[in-house]
Amino acid sequence: MLKNEQQMKPEYRQAVSKVLHYINQNLIADVSLETLAGVANYSPFHFQKIFLTAISETPKQYVMRLRLERAAHYLKVFPNLPVFDIAMGCGFSSPSVFSRAFRNYYQLTPEEFRLIPLSDTSAIAIHFNKINKAFVTDNSFFPTGVLDNNTDAQDYTIITPPPVVKAFNSINIACITTTLNHPESISFAFKSLMQWVIPNELHTLNTKYIGIWLDTPFYTSLDKCRYLAGIILNEELKSKKDIEIIGMKEGKYANFSMTGNIESTLNHLISLNHHYLDEMGYEMAEIICYEIFDECPAYKPYDHINKSLLVPVKTRKR
């Protein structure tokens, strides 16, 4: 969902949405202004003005922020992954370029950032206006033991029944992008999605609705946290206007079911990563989460719908 969507021409909205999808799929590749302008089919000068109006960031600022936030997640989620690999895996040309950009953004080197407790990293992000306070200062949202890797039973969210690791086939998903800048953003996004799904006769009694977390509010401000609202496709479908077609890869996923609000979902994910996966002999393979809903979130509040969460995993190296 674009910040100034109502004030934009439809063709501008479509161009920016197309570019945002391209960036999502190619963050570590060439996402220069010239490349993105070509995707949008505008001149670089004209496109930058359109993008800035829509997103309140220039394309360069937007890409840099996404890369740095991804790097921040990698530093905490993968404590043994070399900084060199993180730099290359997040689209930086060299470790020195990455370190300089990271320090400028977070006022810490990557090595310093990695060593401090997760609760403190969020405080740092708040201090430097990287995220807003509203979502992260509730003690129930950051269970002390989980964030400090203390796994005493009272300090982490119990997942019932416990998560299991399963092999899943690849699936195709038609989706639209929103951000979590409003308590009902997810519901609004699914309502918009259904306005496209129903006329295109893609809705059946067996339709599965899926949400995809691309960001979390630990290092990303809520109004910038990207969330995809989608349906699972039963047939091949090419990209349509205002709709992204993406794939969930075949592979192993940690899987569990739950019902609850956004904070509860994120608490469960924290607990999964910091407590359950290690005991199961796995670690996250990618920082992304899929949630398959039992009912359509367009017609029932997110908090009241049972959902099956899937997080890609790989065998932990010892």
CB within 8 A of 242, min separation 6: which ones? Answer: 13, 14, 17, 176, 196
**Domain for residue 139, yes or no?**
no
Residue with tokens 């070399």: 82
Closest to 73 (Cα-Cα) out of 127, 114, 106: 114
**Domain for residue 186, yes or no?**
yes
Percent of the chain residues past pLDDT 70, beyond the cut: 84
Q: Could you tell me the two tokens for 284?
A: 């996250």
CATH code (residue 37): 1.10.10
**Domain for residue 94, yes or no?**
no
State the pTM of this model: 0.85
Q: Please tell me the predicted confidence (pLDDT) of residue 217.
A: 84
174 and 45 inside one domain: no
Q: Please tell me the predicted confidence (pLDDT) of residue 14.
A: 86
47 and 176 inside one domain: no
CA dist list (Å): 166 to 201, 210, 309: 31, 18, 12
**Domain for residue 96, yes or no?**
no
50 and 181 inside one domain: no
Cis peptide before 161 (omega within 30 of 0): yes
174 and 307 inside one domain: yes
Percent of the chain residues past pLDDT 90, beyond the cut: 65
**Which range of residues forms the domain containing residue 250?**
164-315
**Domain for residue 76, yes or no?**
no
- Beta-carbon-side half-sphere exposure of residue 4 (alpha carbons within 13 Å): 13
**Domain for residue 262, yes or no?**
yes
DSSP 67-102: HHHHHHHHHHH-TTS-HHHHHHHTT-SSHHHHHHHH
The C-alpha atoms of residue 254 and residue 275 are separated, in whole angstroms, by 13
**Domain for residue 79, yes or no?**
no
51 and 171 inside one domain: no
CA dist list (Å): 37 to 19, 60, 158, 235: 8, 12, 47, 31
Beta bridge partners of 289: 213
**Domain for residue 144, yes or no?**
no
Q: Of 56, 74, 92, at which residue does a domain stop?
A: 56
CATH code (residue 305): 3.20.80.10
Is residue 182 within 8 A of residue 188, CB to CB? The reply is yes
Residue with tokens 């699914």: 190
174 and 295 inside one domain: yes
Q: Please tell me the predicted confidence (pLDDT) of residue 139.
A: 39
300 and 182 inside one domain: yes
CA dist list (Å): 50 to 17, 32, 64, 168, 253: 11, 16, 18, 40, 38
Pairing of the two strands 171-179 and 282-284: unpaired
294 and 170 inside one domain: yes
Number of domains in the chain: 2
Mean pLDDT by 10 residues, the chain (318 residues): 66 90 91 96 96 94 96 90 95 96 94 83 63 46 38 69 96 92 92 92 90 90 91 78 86 97 92 92 94 96 97 89
Q: Of 38, 56, 74, at which residue does a domain stop?
A: 56
CA dist list (Å): 41 to 16, 33, 223: 10, 12, 27
